Amino acid sequence: MALRLGDSAPDFTQQSSEGEINFHQWLGNSWGILFSHPADFTPVCTTELGLTAKLKNEFEKRNTKAIALSVDDADSHQRWIGDINDTQGCAVNFPIIADADRKVSELYDMIHPNADSSLTVRSLFIIDPNKKIRLIITYPASTGRNFDEVLRVLDSLQLTDQHKVATPGNWQAGDDVVIVPSLQDEDEIKQRFPSGYKALKPYLRMTKDPSKS
């Protein structure tokens, strides 16, 4: 059965480019990004892994760990990492799961038979410190991911977990946010949002990013 938002992220123990990993233990109290690749030595994946390595500082600011997956073995991953570092001007600084037996791919429904019967599609999961799945994005193998969007969603999730707000379309960190409709108590609203708010409609109330106040 396919995973859905709010489900517990399945735990697993599997070999990787950095040795054996128990997923939940490896995550600890961090947020996690688990993302799959069709195979090693593929061009789009090479660019994606390079981008991920270069975003290490950005992920660390957000208490987030990245971990990739490919259906090839750990030795193949090590050879591929050399190519990634060479062509992308980076140093891969996160593990790549060696899922030759498809165990993790099947746990996370990363193989879509109508797209390819054996290789994973470009699945990406954001997992919170409680090991709950908070985002699922699936791209076709031919389309590289937008990692600016991954960071944007992380910012939104972490902000909305802390404050009674939602983020509007095309929101970027620091932009105005929406007060959730369930919050109706004016005293609580004044306490939470001392800068006030603008009611465009009774259900659409905009306020400044409360994390910046």
Show the 3-state SS of the chain.
Answer: CCCCCCCECCCCEECECCCCEEHHHHHCCCEEEEEEECCCCCHHHHHHHHHHHHCHHHHHHCCEEEEEEECCCHHHHHHHHHHHHHHHCCCCCCCEEECCCCHHHHHCCCCCCCCCCCCCCEEEEEECCCCEEEEEEEECCCCCCCHHHHHHHHHHHHHHHHCCEECCCCCCCCCCEEECCCCCCHHHHHHHCCCCEEEEECCEEEECCHHHC
Q: Do 76 and 122 belong to one domain?
A: yes
Q: 48 and 136: one domain?
A: yes
Does residue 150 belong to any structural domain of this protein?
Answer: no
Concerning whether 45 is annotated as a catalytic residue, the answer is yes
- Domain membership of residue 109 as a residue range: 13-145
> In this structure, is residue 2 part of a structural domain?
no
Structure confidence at residue 142 (pLDDT):
84
pLDDT in tens, the chain (213 residues): 589 999 999 999 999 999 999 999 999 999 999 999 888 999 999 999 999 999 999 999 999 999 999 989 999 999 999 999 999 999 999 999 999 998 998 899 887 655 554 556 688 999 999 999 999 999 888 889 999 999 999 999 999 999 999 999 999 999 999 999 999 999 999 999 999 999 999 999 999 999 887
Residue 39, pLDDT score: 85
Same domain, 89 and 29: yes
pLDDT of 157: 98
Domain annotation covers residue 36: yes
Catalytic residue, chosen from 33, 45, 151, 154, is 45
